[in-house]
Chain A
Amino acid sequence: MAVTLVKERWQSRVGEVILGATPEQGGTRSHTITVGGDGTLPFLHFEGTVANRPVVALEVNDVEPDWSPRLKEYYADVINNPAAWAKKCVDEYGADLIYLKLVGANPEGANRTPAECAQTVKDVLAAVSVPLIVVGCEEAEKDNEVMAAVAEAAAGENLLIGLAEQENYKSITAAAMVHKHSVIARSPLDINICKQLNILINEMGLPLNKIIIDPMIGGLGFGLEYAYSIMERARLGSLVNDKMLAMPMVCTPGYEANRAKEANAGIEDFPAWGDLHDRGTMWEALTATSLIQTGASILLMRNPEAVKLVKQNIEELMVSNA
Chain B
Amino acid sequence: MALTGLDIYKQLPKKNCGECGVPTCLAFAMALAAGKAALSSCPYVSDAAKEMLDSASAPPIKKIAFGAGVELGDETVMFRHEKTFYHPTTVMIRVSDNLSAEEIAARVAEVNDLEFDRVGLHYGVEGIAVTNDSGDAAKFAAAVSVASGALAENKSMVLLTEDAAALKGALEPVAGRKPLVGSATAANFEGMVEVAKAAGVPLIVKAAGLDALAELADKVVAAGYKELVLDPVTTETSKALADLTQLRRLAIKKKFRSFGYPVLAYTSKENPLEEIVQANVYLAKYASMLVINAVKKEHVLPLLTFRVNLYTDPQKPIQVEPKLHAVGDVTPDSPVYVTTNFSLTYYTVQGEIEASKIPSYILAVDTDGTSVLTAYAAGKFEPEKVADLMEKFEVASKVNHKKVVIPGYVAVISGKLKEKSGWDVVVGPREASGIMSFAKANFGS
Q: Which residues of A are at the interface with B, using a C-beta cutoff of 8 A?
A: 1-3, 5-6, 43-46, 165, 188-190, 216, 218, 220-225, 228-229, 232-233, 236, 259, 261-262, 264, 272-279, 281-283, 285-286, 289-290, 293, 305, 309-310, 312-313, 316-321
- Indicate if the CB atoms of B296 and A223 lie closer than 8 Å: no
- Indicate if the CB atoms of B297 and A272 lie closer than 8 Å: yes
A306 shortest CB reach to chain B, Å: 9
Q: How far is the CA of A279 from the CA of B116 in the complex (A)?
A: 13
Q: How far is the CA of A99 from the CA of B69 in the complex (A)?
A: 47
| Contact A189-B238, Cβ < 8 Å, known A225-B310, A225-B314, A261-B433 | no
- Indicate if the CB atoms of B302 and A320 lie closer than 8 Å: no
Chain A, Cβ-Cβ closest to B344:
A222
Q: How far is the CA of A31 from the CA of B12 in the complex (A)?
A: 70
- Indicate if the CB atoms of B298 and A278 lie closer than 8 Å: yes
- Indicate if the CB atoms of A285 and B273 lie closer than 8 Å: yes
* B 263-284 to A, binary, CB cutoff 8 A, 1 in contact else 0: 0000000001110111011001
Residues in B whose Cβ lies below 8 Å from that of A320? 238
- Indicate if the CB atoms of A286 and B276 lie closer than 8 Å: yes
Q: How far is the CA of A233 from the CA of B78 in the complex (A)?
A: 12
- The stretch of B127-135, B191-199, B250-258, B322-330 in contact with A is B250-258
- Indicate if the CB atoms of A232 and B81 lie closer than 8 Å: yes
Count contacts on B: residues with CB < 8 A to the other chain. 65
Residues in A whose Cβ lies below 8 Å from that of B246? 3, 5-6
B33 shortest CB reach to chain A, Å: 27
- Indicate if the CB atoms of B249 and A6 lie closer than 8 Å: yes
B226 shortest CB reach to chain A, Å: 18
- Indicate if the CB atoms of A279 and B302 lie closer than 8 Å: yes
Interface residues in B286-313 by Cβ distance below 8 A to A read: 296-303, 305-306, 308-310, 312
**A-B contacts at CB below 8 angstroms, number:** 179
Interface residues in B350-390 by Cβ distance below 8 A to A read: 351, 370-371, 373-374, 377-378
Query: A221-B344, A223-B309 given. 16 additional CB < 8 A pairs?
Result: A43-B241, A225-B310, A259-B431, A262-B118, A272-B297, A273-B118, A274-B297, A282-B273, A286-B303, A290-B306, A293-B284, A312-B277, A313-B237, A316-B236, A316-B238, A319-B237
Residues in B whose Cβ lies below 8 Å from that of A190? 378
- Indicate if the CB atoms of B378 and A188 lie closer than 8 Å: yes
- Indicate if the CB atoms of B242 and A45 lie closer than 8 Å: yes
Which of B309, B370, B431, B432 sits near A221, CB closer than 8 Å? Answer: B309
Residues in B whose Cβ lies below 8 Å from that of A274? 296-301
- Indicate if the CB atoms of B116 and A273 lie closer than 8 Å: yes
Q: How far is the CA of A310 from the CA of B431 in the complex (A)?
A: 26
Residues in A whose Cβ lies below 8 Å from that of B314? 225, 229
Chain A, Cβ-Cβ closest to B300:
A274
Q: How far is the CA of A310 from the CA of B281 in the complex (A)?
A: 11
| Contact A290-B301, Cβ < 8 Å, known A309-B277, A321-B239 | no
Q: How far is the CA of A145 from the CA of B253 in the complex (A)?
A: 53
- Indicate if the CB atoms of A317 and B377 lie closer than 8 Å: no
